[in-house]
Chain A
Amino acid sequence: MIQMGEFKVHRVRFFDYMPSAIRSMAFNSHTERLAVARADGAVEIFNFADNYFQEKVIAGRDGRSIEALCWVGRRLFSAGLEGEITEYDLENLRPRYSIEAYGGPIWTISSNSQGTLLAAGCEDGTVKMFEILEDRIQFQTNLSRQKGRIISLSWHPSGAQIAAGMMDMIKIFDSETGQATHRLLVDRGVGTSKSREVVVWSVAFLNDHTIISGDSAGKVQIWDGLTGTLISTHLVTKWDVLVLAISQDESSVIAGTSEGTVVQFQFLPSTVGQQDKFWVQTRTFKNHSHDVRALVHTDTAVVSGGMDTQLVVRPLLDKVEKNTQESALHKIAFPHRNLVSCAKKAGLLLFQFPDHLELWRLGESDRNGTPGESLPVKRKPEKLIQLKIKGEDHICCSALSPCGSWLAYATVAAVRLYRLQLSSSNVSIQKVSKLPRELKSVHQLCFSSDSCRLFASSSFSSVVVVALDQTDCKYLHTLKHKSGSKQPIHILSPSEDGQWLATANTDCEIHVFNLRKMKLHCSVPAYSSCPTAVSIHPTSGNLVSVHADQQIFEFSLKQKEYSVWSRQLQRQGLHPLWLQRDTPVTQITFNPNNPAHIMLHDVFMFCIIDQSLPLPEAKSKFYNQRILRSLPEPQRLRESHAFKACKNFQHLLSVNLLEDLSLVVVERPLVDIVCQLPAPVRQKLFAT
């Protein structure tokens, strides 16, 4: 525990959150959505048009391993080593259906540019063609069967040919007849790896019939697909080239390697102004410590992910304006949602892991100290319960009631509610057996502040309200709005007095329901950016929302209009340094002692907005807390502004204010994550 000014801070570092490795990515350039598949089978959707906000998370499942993702229009398909092709329901955040391909493990899927066919490369050496129908896919044909597995596939943009990367070779098939037209033999590595088969991890078939391949011998090779001849070989790494990605205009190719580097090749003329171009190796990006397993080449950036679990967006500086928000490097290491629930009254923390939940009791200290001093702990924090889920599906959301006596979690299949009884010596947990039928397909769970209601967001942006009493629970009402949006609700925020419930969905809508009348009170005027945190002020009844583009709004629920402060903030604009932060605000809390204070946090800072102070000018110093402390009193008043940022805590997952006015800060240092990763491939370092 630390004393920080007026607050005692519980600095929690015992949340062993471990993100899972990125296995595959697919980018939909029309909707600007990036789908990311992780090793635990989870699929995440990032909105690149909205500050790389993580809009949706589809929880994984034991035993599901996704090897490939593919967008067909707005539909998302995945395939994995369990041999099934799965389509996802992005509105209900669950798999819609799975189809067995009957070809053994599937290594890759790829759809043609017309969006009519989906090709799947299987372990048994077949390329299986599936017809994409309105509501499902249907097996159509097999291309001629080869010896050895099909590792990678790429369609020619015309759809007439398809290139398949295999062991030791690349085959080109005619997609009409299903016959192989060319066989390109890939050289094995030199030395000891001569005896090992070379794996063509990735192929790309360009419009001019050039084929680019990346293989396990560390080569990127460029072939002429018409004649089946090798044009050039670039040895990129001593290890494997795992993935290739081409830009939309086919002028640039990037290759991800086991060394964690991404190597760019560009199609350039040899002399200025000439027409004949050739592929030249140009830049190398090193943003990963481990294998780069997934790559996407957007128009302006290189998006890479791999074993080190981070998603890196590296803008290409020749495509974006320099020194803008767009040209900054983004690293997304933590989820953009809360995995921690806090029982404010009981001092309990609930940590959500993919396959279990942990309930902790916070430590205690009876001393007060000077600011910055760490206090001796009288009672150590203690893990009360570790709750393992039943079934294969992973947890998609969880909640702990403020009084600490209720615990709920949901998977794709079911919702479970538990009643906790905690005394000083023993802990008992009891499952509530009978739950109302309306509680299904839940994306978000939340308890009311008096712990007698449970809110669950359900399909079609509706909210199911369930009343809880000592023994059982009873369905009360389903709150619906009339906007017609089918997108899932990702934020539920009840007010302290129990009168309001604010919901936000990924269509950027915020609706406020009156819980007394059980009906829609109002909708906040739609803003183009998705809300990342929404909260209702306990005393003034104003709704504060922070959006993915870092804008802050305050909406008065009584007047049903933006508050004066919010208008003033919009007029003056936010400080550039505030807008340049690259992680969204994930939580808003209020200080009951000081109604003018809004407390919010993102991964790298914790900020208190004092609405009574003037807003910062664009030229003034934003992070000025340290300087202010050294100034004399009158000058300090003049210099201080509304945004009081604190960067003492890094990699914040959650900040909560307990009832006894002590802060709970949950940190997960990135170093701890990195040291739990497996060892990277060995690389010779200079002077070692």
Chain B
Amino acid sequence: MVEQAEIRVVHQGGSNITFREPAISSDSRFLLCASGHNVKVFSTVTEECVQELRGHTDLVTGVLLRPSNHLQAYSCSADGTVRLWDFTDGILIKTYVIGYPICSIYASASHDGVIFIATPTKGYKTLDSLQLLAVHLPQTAGQLVETSDLSAVLSDVSANPATVAFGRAGEYVASTNGVQLQIFFFKKQKSFRFSLKENSCSGRRNTFTCVACHPTDDCIATGHEDGKIRLWRNFDQKREYTYRTLHWHHSTVRALCFTPEGSNLLSGGVESVLVQWRYQQESQQDFLPRLGAAITHIAVSPDGALFCTSHSDNKIVLIQSCVKVSSIIQGLVKGEAVQTDLMVDPRSKALVLNGKPGHLQFYSLQRDRLLFNLDVVQQEFIHQEGLDQFQVVMATLDGAGAWLATVEERKQETVEAELNLKLWAFDEPSQSFVLNTTVSTPHEVRITAVTFDPAARGQTSLLVSCGRDGLFKAWRLAPPAHPDDGGPSWTCDFVSGYHGLTPQRCCFSADGSLLAVGFQEVVTVWSPASWELLLTLSQPPGIIRDLCFGRLSCSKFLLGTTSSDQLCCWNLLTCSLEWSTSMEVSLLLADPLSDNMAAFCHQDGNTDLFVFKPSEPRPLFSQKAVCSGRVSRAVFAPREVALESCEESSQWLNRSQLYFLTPLMDLLTFSTRAEEERLMTASKQLVVDDSVAMTPFQLLLGKRRPHHQAAVEDPAVRPPAERPVPPGGSAAVRELLQSPAHVLPAAAALCSVFMEALLGVATETRENETSAGETPSDPEEEEEEDSDQEMETRATRPERGLLETDSADPVLSRAQVRELRRVRKLDHSWFSSLLDS
């Protein structure tokens, strides 16, 4: 996390949580998944994100439970490091520096101290040819460990991490690439290769897509592009190998997984159906259909009770014993492409964009959660490739968030596209949008733009739509023709064109008094009140791509970009071109809360950002290469609390935040350093507990809370300045004192806990006082105290003990600590019996 610039581009929420296979903790309570540069730990019960493991500086490419310690997890990243985490408490234990970008990580129980990683073969820049390396993790002390003991296991490994699997307690590894299956036996150091024909007789492709190994038997299951699953046996022989073919999926098998006992095989693909095959009785299958989107990964908890499936719409579904969906963890839905503009719902401050096919999603940026999906198309979506189905191509919200307009279309090869314009009213009681009017075929041909009058409120709202048929239409809410017809609905109010040219863009001024419509090379400005053509502006050749009125102090300016790479600014008072500059602007945006404008420019395969005021020639802020590829969707989201940055270059971020989508559908934003620092401190204040919901009971009855609280703090990210301990004592005490009496248990039950909590606070404050300005209370020490709870983790302790002696001396002497512990364990029940009497 090196900060050089004052403002940097960060992944802000909405990261892909289905990029790699998630891992379920051994007690089935937590789900770990790679999410952008972080690893997220979700509770499997409440679906909440309970931890975010931050530390990697590039995309996390794999998460894996440590086989020898079920409370720890490895994560690997393209930044060339493997990190070991204590995921319940969010502590980074070790960082192993590998030095090459890592594509995936594997481990097996029988290889202690060894992990397997897939990295690009030396000399190859692309991800086409990977090699599987065994990394011997050195047992040295210290946080940052350089690893040098690498040995190649397999070459020619596919970039898809699902194509490598370890079988029967790590006896062998199976890897597939193309139409070849490769099996390497570790003991015999022997490898076998089996090839299939490129195409089967019926011309379907035989390519391997995924592989899974049976946990106890020598049986390898492979998934194929044509939907077949093959169960390989006898693969320790060159010729007498054999396989059985199972065929249920009609298209590619994306994920395969054996349950831990090996009694079932799970498979999934684009059909969105989880199929459970009985091992040895493969003709019997169980199905869990209607999972919503194509399955990309399947993981099973170590006890086999919980399955989880990752889906292509950035969703993880948790399933209990293949019958019941128990919870759904939904990230920002990312389809093939976002066709609607990014919008911010003024009411919920949520980001609105395409979600599931035929839906609009409302995504809360602050909470990084999907709020809800609005079914716009209201038709069944068929999970099959190559079908033309209705898609939401445009959506717009009015200024108050009371109306939503959507355009859906179905492209067809032969006939003209089917179009529907739908208008939705916000319904206060149900807090959602309700369909008000459906206009089928609002324009003859495709619609190019729709926009609401931003100034109008409620009943007087005005919607303008432009179509390829050379017309733009204004729609108004009108009372029904007959009183029996129900409420008011939208009707066409005005239709006009300009010399038969195609309108490409339309834009209202901030007060709604002017409407600018770009007719190919001509900009026309209309008065929506009288529908009178006020003026026309023409400019250097090129078709208008984007139009935007300036805001606030710059509202006299109208800005436009053209296809001949010009950015023009007209002064509406003088009706003349104020200035123009030559740059390839792919997106022009106006900040609704300030007079700033943002222009994304596409240059040399990268996108540059310029933030400027139309009245000033010099840009406020510019950054080269914010991302690769062309940015075509961005939005200014108003901040809830304005920042008070005084630095000139970051002032434009004070009132709103700029979000944009990269071509790879990553949602990125700009953040200032001050903001990041605030975020860091905020994250430390988070009192994170297990998945159990925060109730007074839990707070009080949960054992030894203060220690957990201290252990949460991550030594890696801790800044030198130590936050003072809140004066109210421990949270438990505070909670006890603040909770209403009727929700508390009997005083007799509370007493010993209360006493214990007070004691705990006392020791903690003492520790903190003595070490003020220095490192905080040593996490290792806390862990040692925890260790009587975690008996299984003993194996890794000795080195930790060494480490402790090396690091800063504990302030309390051992004798003192022991004394403290003794006091804590004292039976305080006498006190409660006193109370009872």
Contact = CB atoms under 8 A, between A and B. Distances in A.
Contact of A284 (B216, B218, B239, B245): B245
Contacts of A269: 218
A282 B243 contact: yes
A318 B239 contact: yes
A600 interface: no
A681 B171 CA distance: 45
B250 interface: yes
B283 A234 contact: yes
Interface string B4-45: 000000000000000000000000000000000000000000
Contacts of A270: 216-218
A283 B233 contact: no
B168 A271 contact: yes
A266 B233 contact: yes
Contact of B244 (A232, A281, A319): A281
A284 B240 contact: no
Nearest to A238: B283
B283 A235 contact: yes
B241 interface: yes
A268 interface: yes
B284 interface: yes
B281 to A, nearest CB: 8
Interface residues of A, number: 23
Nearest to B235: A272
A615 B245 CA distance: 45
A236 interface: yes
A235 B284 CA distance: 8
Contacts of A236: 283
Given A235-B283, A271-B168, A280-B233, A318 B241 contact: yes
B280 A271 contact: no
B829 interface: no
Contacts of B234: 266, 268
Contacts of A280: 233, 244, 280
A272 B242 contact: no
How many B residues are at the interface, by size bracket? 20 to 34
B767 interface: no
A249 to B, nearest CB: 12
A235 B282 CA distance: 9
Contacts of B239: 317-319
A284 B244 contact: yes
- Interface of chain B, main secondary structure: loop
B610 to A, nearest CB: 53
B218 A282 contact: no
Nearest to A271: B218
A266 B245 contact: no
A637 to B, nearest CB: 38
Interface string B149-172: 000000000000000000010010
Contacts of B236: 272-273
A319 B243 CA distance: 14
B217 A283 contact: no
Nearest to A233: B281
Contacts of A235: 281, 283-284
Contacts of A687: 250
Contacts of B217: 270-271
Nearest to A687: B250
B191 to A, nearest CB: 14
A270 B214 CA distance: 10
Interface string A280-307: 1111100000000000000000000000
A268 B233 contact: yes
Interface in B160-209: 168, 171, 185
Nearest to B245: A284
A273 B217 CA distance: 11
Interface string B221-240: 00000000000011011011
B622 to A, nearest CB: 55
Contacts of B244: 280-284
Contacts, number: 53
A281 B242 contact: no
Nearest to A284: B245
B243 A272 contact: no
A238 B784 CA distance: 63
A283 B236 CA distance: 18
A198 to B, nearest CB: 17
A268 B250 contact: no
A173 B348 CA distance: 81
Contacts of A318: 237, 239-242
Contacts of A233: 281
A283 B218 contact: no
B242 A268 contact: yes
B218 A272 contact: yes
Contacts of A686: 250
Nearest to A269: B218
Contacts of B168: 271
A264 B242 CA distance: 10
Residue among B185, B236, B242, B280 with most chain A CB within 10 A: B242
A283 B245 contact: yes
A686 B243 CA distance: 23
A212 to B, nearest CB: 16
Nearest to B236: A272
A236 B281 CA distance: 10
B216 A281 contact: no
Contacts of A319: 239-240
A406 B239 CA distance: 58
Interface in B256-292: 280-284
Contacts of A232: 280
A269 B633 CA distance: 58
Contacts of A266: 233-234, 242
Interface in B571-594: none
A338 B175 CA distance: 54
Given A268-B233, A271-B216, A272-B236, A283 B283 contact: no
Nearest to B250: A686
Residue among B168, B216, B218, B282 with most chain A CB within 10 A: B218
A271 B242 CA distance: 14
Interface string A246-264: 0000000000000000001
A319 B239 CA distance: 7
Contact of A281 (B218, B241, B282): B282
A319 B216 CA distance: 27
Nearest to B217: A270
Interface in A53-88: none
Contacts of A234: 281, 283
A236 B242 CA distance: 18
Nearest to A235: B283
Given A268-B233, A271-B216, A272-B218, A283 B243 contact: yes
A266 B281 CA distance: 15
A284 B242 CA distance: 11
Nearest to A279: B280
A10 B283 CA distance: 53
A272 to B, nearest CB: 5
A269 B244 CA distance: 15
B229 to A, nearest CB: 13
Nearest to A270: B217
A134 B556 CA distance: 118
B340 to A, nearest CB: 33
B204 to A, nearest CB: 12
A233 B243 CA distance: 19
Contacts of B237: 318
A283 B171 CA distance: 25
Nearest to B283: A235
Given A266-B234, A281-B282, A284-B244, 13 more contacts: A235-B281, A235-B284, A270-B218, A271-B168, A272-B171, A273-B236, A280-B280, A281-B244, A282-B242, A283-B243, A318-B237, A318-B241, A318-B242
Interface of A: 232-236, 264, 266, 268-273, 280-284, 317-319, 686-687
6 contacts: A234-B281, A235-B283, A268-B242, A271-B216, A271-B218, A284-B245
Across chains A and B, which 4 residue pairs bring their CB atoms closest together, nearest first? A282-B242, A235-B283, A270-B217, A272-B236
